[in-house]
Amino acid sequence: MSLVALSRKKSPWLLHFETGGCNGCAIEVWACLTPVYDVERFGMVNTGNPKHADVLIVTGCVNARSGRVLRNLYSQMPEPKVVIAVGVCACTGGIFHDSYNLAPGADRAIPVDIYIPNCAARPEAIIDSVLHAVDLLEEKGRSYDARRS
């Protein structure tokens, strides 16, 4: 395994973006980073810079304005990358689904790999999804490396 592939597996960095919604899922994502749930034991670090990130966590429903920012962030992330939609808002729009200015789900703006429903998503579910993301990242990384070589 090359060094890059190893670092992808052992230390994926997270980028969190709240696109709308009510913050409920955002604080649960933050709770995951802190001592009780602690995803840092898997080598995951929260970063504010999309160019350092491997996993994008989207919480909340997407409207035109935040969708633009979301696409921008997504396109700045280096390949390979995984997107997780946390909370029913990010999956389908949830309770706000028939509001006048929302897209039903984050997947209308960017490709989403993993969906976690529930309002608000529980920290255990978020931890589970980031672990899936690690596997997915490894897989995507392998095909990405194969394409490049």
Partner 1 sequence: MIGKTVIPFGPQHAVFPEPFHWRLVMEEERVLDAIPGIGYMHRGIEQLATRMEFAKTLFLAERVCGICSFMHALAYAESLEKLMDVEVPPRAKYLRTIWAELARLQSHLLWIGLAADAFGFESLFMQAWRVREYVMDMVEFTEGGRVMTSSVTIGGVRRDLHEEAIEFLLENLDKLEVGFEEVYQVFTEDPLIKHRTVGVGILSKEDSIRLGAVGPTLRGSGVAQDMRMLGYAAYGELEFQPVVEDSCDSYARMVVRLKECFQSINLIRQAIKKLPDGDVLVKVRGKPEGEVVTRIEQPRGELLYYIKANGTKSLERFRIRTPTLSNLPPLMHMIKGACLADVPVITLSIDTCIACTER
Integer Cα distance of 35 and 40 in angstroms: 9
For the bound state, the minimum distance from the C-beta of residue 88 to partner 1, rounded and expressed in Å, comes to 10
Q: Which is nearest to 12 in space by CA: 135, 149, 124?
A: 135
Site track for ligand SF4 across 8-47, x = CB under 6 A: -------------xx-xx----------------------
Integer Cα distance of 70 and 64 in angstroms: 10
For the bound state, the minimum distance from the C-beta of residue 133 to ligand SF4, rounded and expressed in Å, comes to 19
Q: Which is nearest to 92 in space by CA: 71, 74, 118?
A: 118
∠ CA 70-64-51, nearest 5°, is: 10
| 75 lies in the binding site for partner 1 (CB under 8 A) | no
Site track for ligand SF4 across 45-84, x = CB under 6 A: --------------xx------------------------
| 114 lies in the binding site for partner 1 (CB under 8 A) | no
